[in-house]
Amino acid sequence: MKRALKICASVVALAAATAAMPVAAMADWLEEAAKPLKGTEVNGIFLDRPGYRAIIKLLPEFEKKTGIKVNYEIVPYENAREKEVLNFTSQGDLTMALVDLVWIGEFAENGWLVPVDELAKDRAITDPNLKLDGFFPLLLEAFGSWGGTVYGLPFDNYSGLLFYNSCKLKEAGFDKPPATWEEVMTVYGPKLTDASKNEFAYALQSRRGETQSADSFMRFLWPFGGSLLNKEFKSNLLSKESQAGLQFRQDLMKYQPPGVVSFDHAESVNALAQGQVAMITEWSAFYSTLADPATSKLGDCLAVAPEPAGPAGRLPALGGFSLAVAAQATPEQQKATWLFIQWATSEDIAKAYVEAGGVSGRMAVYNDPEIKAKYKFVEPMVASWQAGVPEYRPRFPAWPAISEIVAEWGSKMMLGEVTVEGGSKEIGTRMEAILGKEGYYDGKKKLLQ
């Protein structure tokens, strides 16, 4: 709660600073702010995902208005963090940081990011309509904030959703999707699975790597009342609740394709798009892929709902990024980058961004009747963002190392090479060794995740 209050205080202070700006100065603020920065270049990293393709479509508008050039390199997600870390540690050329939810602690604690309130002190380069309180509070805290300080603005944000083939469900006698994971297991799974026809109820993307640790393993902890860590930062994986969730995941495999342990996002989405499975839990950003006739056979059969609830309620997967100004950039580059980030995450372009295939972190755009009517994912996604767990995956600097451990032993669990209990013990022992070395048990580091 204290952390949330600090963030709220930062938002209020920033709002007060910008509210005093004269009305005349608000008109065409971007063009005016950019005049001294024409010719400045912004350098960043993008991913090959719908949200980035969407902002690339809109880039000419920003560059024409400002005279600022935005250079981007598209890299695979698996290489993005390493590429940024190497650039920041060698004082490279990146002026903008793409910050995954689980990188925010590492990037902030290493001093690689400029806090938003420092940038916003310069009113000449700060949007008078910035409105940090216009972002979903969960997103601003989870993706952009660390230790009570806001560093980045939410961009390309995801909620886990249930995508399903309504026609297949109707054929099986269902007029609505499952509301709970128990229904998936006991009611929907048996009726929607026919292995002889290579048809299955569900597919859980579980490829070893961040997909296994985040999309597969963590997805079945929180809804069952479990968690990775307890309040003392010791492993909580052997708790009754965590074990129940992980065992449920194991048991659910009988209603999934045989090779699901090697499925990444592309395979999971394609399995639904081509009719092999009836349901998947995937990121909201994949709606455009599933709705595109060029990549999906679903057509009007595509339907979307919130993720099923577990015994502890509906606590869906949370993922995505923020955009932040890199501390290594020159003062001019920092200003230009701050202008771009404000524009890219603004309410002004939110509708165009969503229509181009992106997912905005702004609340207002999802009240637009046209957006609500056109995009089936909007209402379930907004419902998912009303409450959630910012530390769905721990956001501290130790997560990348722990993620590798979870990915290794989580995969072994699913493959039957170790028991759920045995794999949990291995993860816990190895995870606690890392956290001990990091200083979480001797008071050197605050227990922030």
- 159 confidence band (pLDDT: 50, 70, 90): confident
Residue 44 near residue 98, CB atoms below 8 Å: yes
Task: Provide the pLDDT for residue 20.
Answer: 41
pLDDT of 13 strictly over 60: no
Read off the tokens for 372.
């609500």
**What count of Cα atoms within 13 Å lies in the side-chain half-sphere of residue 165?**
25
CA distances from 128 to 6, 16, 36 (A): 22, 10, 18
What is the chain's mean pLDDT, rounded? 91
The larger pLDDT score, comparing residue 68 to residue 159, is at 68
- The pLDDT of residue 376 is above 80: yes
Q: Over range 292-301, report the average pLDDT.
A: 95
Task: Provide the pLDDT confidence category of residue 18 given band limits of 50, 70 and 90.
Answer: very low
Q: How close are the terminal C-alpha atoms of the chain, in Å?
A: 14
Q: What pLDDT does residue 14 have? A: 52
Question: Rounded distance, CA 314 to CA 308, Å?
Answer: 6
Mean pLDDT of all residues in 298-306: 95
**What pLDDT does residue 280 have?**
98
pLDDT of 19 over the 50 cut: no
Torsion of CA 176, 182, 184, 188, to 10 degrees: -70
pLDDT of residue 392: 84
What's the pLDDT at 239? 98
Sign of CA pseudo-dihedral 371, 76, 209, 227: negative
Segment 375-398 shows an average pLDDT of: 83
CB 29 within 8 A of CB 127: yes
pLDDT in tens, 408-443: 999 999 999 999 999 999 999 999 999 999 999 998
* pLDDT, average across residues 347-360: 93
Burial of 339 (0-12, 13-18, 19+ CB in 10 A): buried
Domains (range + CATH), the chain: 36-158+319-386 (3.40.190.10), 159-318+395-438 (3.40.190.10)
Beta-strand pair 318-325/96-100 = antiparallel
| Residue that wins the pLDDT comparison between 228 and 284 | 228
- Per the model's pLDDT, the better-predicted residue between 449 and 249 turns out to be 249
What one-character DSSP code corresponds to residue 281? Answer: E
Rounded Cα distance between 179 and 166, Å, is 14
Predicted confidence at residue 320, as pLDDT, reads 87
Q: How far is Cα 349 from Cα 346, in angstroms, rounded to an integer?
A: 6
Sign (positive/negative) of CA torsion 43, 44, 45, 47?
negative
Per-residue model confidence as pLDDT tens digits over 199-233? 999 999 999 999 999 999 999 999 999 999 999 99
pLDDT at 107 over 90: yes
Task: Enumerate residues 6+ apart whose C-beta is below 8 A from 155.
Answer: 51, 55, 98, 143, 320, 321, 322, 323, 341, 344, 345, 361
Q: Which pLDDT score is estimated for 151? A: 97
CA pair distance 149, 360, nearest whole angstrom: 21
**Residue 398 reports pLDDT greater than 50:** yes
The 10s digit of each residue's pLDDT in 38-72 is 999 999 999 998 899 999 999 999 999 999 999 99
Q: What is the pLDDT of residue 443?
A: 85
319 beta partners:
158
What is the pLDDT confidence band of residue 4, given thresholds at 50, 70 and 90? very low
Q: CA nearest 410: which of 160, 203, 207, 184?
A: 207
Q: Which of 324, 322, 343 is nearest to 94 (CA)?
A: 324
Does the pLDDT at position 389 exceed 80?
A: no
Angle between helices 399-415 and 420-438 (to 10 degrees): 170
Pure H helices in 162-239? 166-171, 181-183, 189-192, 210
Measured CA to CA, the distance from residue 154 to residue 159 in angstroms comes to 13
